[in-house]
Amino acid sequence: MRKKIASIALGVGVVIFTASSFPVARAVPRLLSVTQQQNLACCQPELLGLDEQIWGEKGQAGDWRSLLRSIDHSLKYIQSPAAARAYRKYPVKGITRDRVWRSLVRFRQLVVKSRTPAELQAAVRREFDFYQSSGRNGRGEVLFTAYYEPIYLASRVPTAEFRYPLYRLPPNFDKLQHLTRWQLEGKDGLSGSKNRLRGLEIVWLRDRLEALLVQIQGSARLLLPDGKMMTLGYAGKTAHPYVSLGKELAKDGKLPLSGLTLPVMIDYFRRHPEELNNYIPRVRGFVFFRETHGAPATGSLGVPVTAERSIATDKSLMPPGALALMQTALPFASNFGQLEYRNVSRYVLDQDTGSAIKGAGRVDYFMGTGQLAGDRAGVTGSRGHLYYLLLKQ
């Protein structure tokens, strides 16, 4: 008979579980056996921690080098003064900066030493406690979405084709925090250069929706007319909360909420471009950028995010930089050019956050850069479970 679990309640109203030998899916303050695990198709207990992508699956090469690199990024963060400040006030007893550090170091050693997914899975279950997010419903259910770094055409100077600017952070940013998108760039997205944001333009895009998507994703690679690639990273955002453009369309009956994905929304605006100026101003928050000179996309912890190995969570609840394990379904490209969902158990590093990622029941998964990453991210929206892995004490 497997061992029971102990619960640890956070003062902020979230419960995270630690399992002495094996996690269960429920996140309420009572003891339950593994056989009572919530029946989600993605989340069979025997597959938890069996990460086949590390060594390659379905004819694809493994990404163990990327995983090690992502671990190293977290180790760099954990050594920083910012991490020291974050963990001094982290509310969960037993989750400390030192323990997160030791857990990352040991897990890295196990990845290097192990030769198969099953060997790593067995070692992790033997040496680590599993702290489970309480999720969106108190039963461990987490909604997994995804984000990516888009690649678009752009110009450093405005032209008849490239009209929609992205802006650097204003020197008087504090005084602009309360202003809406409409107040900053106008209803048509072209008025910013005529008033408060004049002189702050970094680059111009040819499509207003693309300019908005760069703001939503928080970074971009931009191909310039001379063939050079320009990279932008997040610099700041006004104080308005996130508004989902898709949900606004659904609210007005333009699209059904069921099955509403990023590709569906983009297709709608391609067919109805006149609607852009009616809906984009509803996204009241406004994001500013900085040129990063070829650097990779960087998360809120100040370290690069790694394709399919970095996640964004609510950092008021979750341990920054920590090793985590997600169990859900993700879309993959098939041999026939279609996207098909597969159940995955994936080791990830918690290295980012986002204005739409609030509460214990939300995780945003970094898909990577470019068109395929965007296609996959745009249709990702699956339920699953999230665990944080820490060495047993």
- What is the 3-state secondary structure of 190-216? CCHHHCCCCCCEEEEECCHHHHHHHHH
CA distance 313 to 316: 9
Q: Find how far residue 189's CA is from the centre of its chain.
A: 27
Q: What is the pLDDT of residue 59?
A: 67
CA distance 42 to 330: 10
Cβ(150)–Cβ(387) under 8 Å?
Answer: no
CB atoms closer than 10 angstroms to residue 226:
7
Q: 310 pairs with which residues across the strands?
A: 349
**Which CATH number does the domain 148-291 belong to among 3.40.50.10790, 3.20.20.70, 2.40.240.50, 3.40.50.620?**
2.40.240.50
Intervals of the chain under pLDDT 70:
1-42, 58-59
Q: What is the pLDDT of residue 14?
A: 39
String of b and e for 36-56 (b: at least 16 CB within 10 Å)?
ebbebebbeeebbbbbbbbbe
Q: What is the pLDDT of residue 139?
A: 86
Q: What is the pLDDT of residue 338?
A: 87
Cβ(37)–Cβ(45) under 8 Å?
Answer: yes
CA distance 127 to 392: 6
Cβ(104)–Cβ(346) under 8 Å?
Answer: no
CA distance 156 to 159: 9
Residue ranges of E strands in 309-338:
310-312, 323-333
Domain regions of the chain by residue span: 148-291
Residue 367 backbone zone (phi > 0: left; psi -120 to 50: alpha; other: beta) = alpha
Cβ(110)–Cβ(120) under 8 Å?
Answer: yes
Q: What is the pLDDT of residue 20?
A: 42
CA distance 324 to 384: 13
CB atoms closer than 10 angstroms to residue 338:
9
Cβ(323)–Cβ(360) under 8 Å?
Answer: no
